Structure 1
Amino acid sequence: MAHLSRIKRKHCVNPVNTQPQSDRIGAVKRVAIVDDDAAFRMWVRRMLTADSRFIVVAEAANALEAREVVRTARPDVLTLDVEMPGMNGLEFLARLMAVHPMPVVMMSGRTKQGGANAIHALSIGAVDCIHKPETGCDRDTVRSICDRIHLAACSRVIARAQPVPRPDLSPVSSLTSGPHGQCRRGSLIVIGASTGGVAALETVLHDLAANGPPVMIVQHMPGPFMVSFVERLNRSLPQRVHLAFDGAVLARGDIALAPGFQLHTTLAREDGRWVCRLRPDEGRALHCPSVDVLFASVVEHAKSVSAALLTGLGRDGANSMKQLHDAGAFTIAQDEDSCVVFGMPRAAIAEGAVSRVVPLNRIGSVLRQHHDGPRAPATRRGGQV
């Protein structure tokens, strides 16, 4: 799609306003709905119209109509069905992100394939992916969907020329210094991410050493999506990638992700090994799994730990990152220009919890160099910590 060509519209609602896209968070957000199911489009329209934060400016039943909607209606955010006749939503999303990056929320089914499609969409630029309701929604569910679409509309979407950018030579910002040593037995990397985290994590993990320190990740995402994300990472990375489970031992070359499903993931040092421990949410943390809970669990061993906070809304991880930093951990926050949502990193910076502020495409290489020096050959999959 070299450009957004003119086409004859059948199902598109005439744009009600042609004002430029606003980047003010408080502004009413212009939404376009793309789905081949007319009944579902009507449901989304009614839901959004009842929320004063939105105005629905257009609808489209397929990718061809969606191209015209983007060009003429100038929405702040697009809701996009994954499965459509002709060009499906994933192919349209990839083409859209190449020529006109903008906030997109994918609407996906609850099947295993739907989960895989959702992760693929998030990796190529979608801000969020929402399961299509199978039955009627209660008020809390509707509010949650509206909040997520609004957050997407307020997000920064960055063009990605390549799925995984290579590190550049631009400087990183060093905020504080501390007793941060080189790699030694017991080294660990912990990472927290939320909105925009799927693509960000793929970028970071791509540049870590194949046989480097174990990595434990909390990504705010429903459990079924995490299963698909792990499968995707295992296909593309030389490390062993898996969902954490209670009692799992992490060795060099391991990458574990918190499984969600209303369980917090913590790490304990037992007999010289990093061991995953899962515990149910007791209602004290705002998120489950929680970045703060994970980070807090390794403060005792901070001098062996590197921690990174990536793109995401809110401040999950900021408080415990401050504890890690003060105890001697090496801490990184993603910089504002490369964040989809500069929330969690901003909060950590404000707390004085950050050793360095680093562009996304350098975070992996900075972590690798801190622990292991030059990247190790990608021929081994794991070993002793």
Structure 2
Amino acid sequence: MNGKIRVLVVDDSAFMRKALSMMLLKDPEIEVVGTARNGEDGLEKIRQLRPDVVTLDIEMPRMDGLTALKIIMKEMPLPVLMVSSLTTEGAESTLEALDIGAVDFIPKGLSYVSLDIVKIEAILIEKVKGVAKNRRRTAFPSAPKRVHVPPSGWIKASGPKEVVAIGTSTGGPPALQKVLPRIPADFPVGILIVQHMPPTFTKSLADRLNGQSAIHVKEAEEGDRVEPGVALLAPGDRHMIAQGRSGIRRIHLSEKPDDTLHRPSVDVMTLAVAEAYGGKSLGVILTGMGHDGLEGMGKMKQKGATILAQDEASCVVYGMPRSVVEAGLADKVLPLGEIARGIAQGIK
């Protein structure tokens, strides 16, 4: 991409249009080429201005964000960041937007002056620059409502692996909807998942994944057992730590450490998995920005774990997998459509 990253801000709130624009303009590599007050106005501005990235509010008069997003993905696909409220309804709409083809989202509650403006700016700028650099011209197709997976015949773990640890960020919800529904109900080990998301969003994502999958998927709670056929998704704003060296392992949720860029953190989860399971673990790193998971996957690898990474072509953002691959930690690098099979083979 030559020159500055051209951004269009679409929001019905004049305050939000100004706030987002001011944050973005603090980075010399970003140019706000225009603003729009609803979906109709936004579509017209996209056709006129040809931006590299669009920030799109969900709730707007005349034409809402989801309606506009469907038209964008059909007629002129480009990276779209949704701006969504921190409510259950906002979470559901955001997950629907990610299914349609949005690459990521900015929680609207994080966009007000009462909170840490420096951190908010950093997150917004990082996401805009990340999706622009890794521009994807096609949307992820929506996951089927449910996939029938015949029983595998597994009675117990057929090899040394006792847990699967999955880490993901940008592009993660659609990716998880491609992986988990392909895992059979009698899967012989537990699955732990960290997806960078705020609290309300992780509960909505877990419920959505559970409705699509043969295994049971739930948002992790304090004291949950790690057990076969159950996938535990770390709740937003809490680290998920598996504890216990043998036999029964249980989940501990914690605000500590509080110096990580993300909470939940893939590194915190995978470092704990390395300690609790040693080499009897399988690590999976999926699409995402940055390098969360690199340290933890490295520790898992040292203990004898198997590591799978999603390939660049199928990632929305090839950041987290790239860091693991370039560090020489990945035993296999697979397209998204082969990750579930890779997991099934990797636990044997």
Q: Same fold (TM over 0.5)?
A: yes
Residue 139 in structure 1 maps to residue 126 in structure 2: no
Name the SS of the counterpart of 2:269 in structure 1: helix
Matched-pair contact (CA < 8 Å) for 2:199–2:235: yes
Shift of the 158–335 alpha-carbon distance from structure 1 to 2, 3 Å rule, reads farther
Task: Flag the structure with higher helix content.
Answer: 2
Unaligned runs of 5+ in 2: 145-156
The one-letter code matched in structure 2 to 1:364 is A
Deviation of 1:73 after TM superposition, in Å, equals 0.8
Among candidates 268, 287, 308, match of residue 332 of structure 1 = 308
Q: Provide the C-alpha distance between the structure 1 equivalents of 2:206 and 2:67, rounded to a whole number of angstroms.
A: 22
Q: Provide the C-alpha distance between the structure 2 equivalents of 1:89 and 1:195, rounded to a whole number of angstroms.
A: 19
Deviation of 1:315 after TM superposition, in Å, equals 1.6
Matches within 5 A, 1:33-112: 33-112=9-88
Q: Provide the C-alpha distance between the structure 1 equivalents of 2:130 and 2:261, rounded to a whole number of angstroms.
A: 17
Matched-pair contact (CA < 8 Å) for 1:218–1:291: yes
Shift of the 100–320 alpha-carbon distance from structure 1 to 2, 3 Å rule, reads same
Q: Provide the C-alpha distance between the structure 1 equivalents of 2:160 and 2:308, rounded to a whole number of angstroms.
A: 21
Among candidates 286, 290, 296, match of residue 310 of structure 1 = 286
Q: Provide the C-alpha distance between the structure 2 equivalents of 1:252 and 1:185, rounded to a whole number of angstroms.
A: 14
> Partner of 1:381 in structure 2?
none
**Under a length normalisation based on structure 2, what TM-score does the superposition of the two structures give?**
0.86
Q: Provide the C-alpha distance between the structure 1 equivalents of 2:260 and 2:13, rounded to a whole number of angstroms.
A: 38
Give deviations 1:174-204, integer Å, cap 9, x for gaps: xxxxxxxx73486211101111111111111
How many residue pairs match? The answer is: 331
Give deviations 1:66-86, integer Å, cap 9, x for gaps: 222222211010011101234
Among candidates 207, 217, 222, match of residue 246 of structure 1 = 222
Shift of the 264–65 alpha-carbon distance from structure 1 to 2, 3 Å rule, reads same
Give deviations 1:23-54, integer Å, cap 9, x for gaps: x5xx4110112123344323333333344232
Higher mean displacement: 50-59 or 250-259: 50-59
Identity %: 36
Shift of the 46–185 alpha-carbon distance from structure 1 to 2, 3 Å rule, reads closer
Residue 299 in structure 1 maps to residue 274 in structure 2: yes
Indicate the structure (1 or 2) with the bigger Cα radius of gyration: 1
Matched-pair contact (CA < 8 Å) for 1:317–1:344: yes
Q: Provide the C-alpha distance between the structure 1 equivalents of 2:8 and 2:136, rounded to a whole number of angstroms.
A: 17
Deviation of 1:235 after TM superposition, in Å, equals 2.3
Name the SS of the counterpart of 1:337 in structure 2: helix
> Partner of 2:202 in structure 1?
226
Matched-pair contact (CA < 8 Å) for 2:184–2:214: no
Q: Which has the higher contact order (CA 8 A, sep 6+)?
A: 1
Q: Provide the C-alpha distance between the structure 2 equivalents of 1:86 and 1:286, rounded to a whole number of angstroms.
A: 38
Q: Provide the C-alpha distance between the structure 2 equivalents of 1:227 and 1:215, rounded to a whole number of angstroms.
A: 16
> Partner of 2:171 in structure 1?
196
The one-letter code matched in structure 1 to 2:343 is L
Matched-pair contact (CA < 8 Å) for 1:207–1:368: no
Among candidates 240, 264, 268, match of residue 265 of structure 1 = 240
Deviation of 1:366 after TM superposition, in Å, equals 1.7
The one-letter code matched in structure 2 to 1:244 is A
Matched-pair contact (CA < 8 Å) for 1:326–1:353: no
Q: 4+ runs of 1 displaced by more than 6 Å?
A: none
Give deviations 1:310-335, integer Å, cap 9, x for gaps: 11122221222123224332210111
Shift of the 87–367 alpha-carbon distance from structure 1 to 2, 3 Å rule, reads same
> Partner of 2:153 in structure 1?
none
Higher mean displacement: 337-346 or 146-155: 146-155
Shift of the 68–348 alpha-carbon distance from structure 1 to 2, 3 Å rule, reads same
Matched-pair contact (CA < 8 Å) for 1:333–1:356: yes
Give deviations 1:152-195, integer Å, cap 9, x for gaps: 33333252463139xxxxxxxxxxxxxxxx73486211101111
Matches within 5 A, 1:121-140: 121-133=97-109, 135-137=112-114, 138-140=116-118
Deviation of 1:271 after TM superposition, in Å, equals 6.0
Matched-pair contact (CA < 8 Å) for 2:183–2:213: no
Matched-pair contact (CA < 8 Å) for 2:286–2:310: yes
Q: Provide the C-alpha distance between the structure 2 equivalents of 1:223 and 1:295, rounded to a whole number of angstroms.
A: 20
**Under a length normalisation based on structure 1, what TM-score does the superposition of the two structures give?**
0.78
> Partner of 1:344 in structure 2?
320
Q: Provide the C-alpha distance between the structure 2 equivalents of 1:326 and 1:33, rounded to a whole number of angstroms.
A: 45
Higher mean displacement: 242-251 or 142-151: 142-151
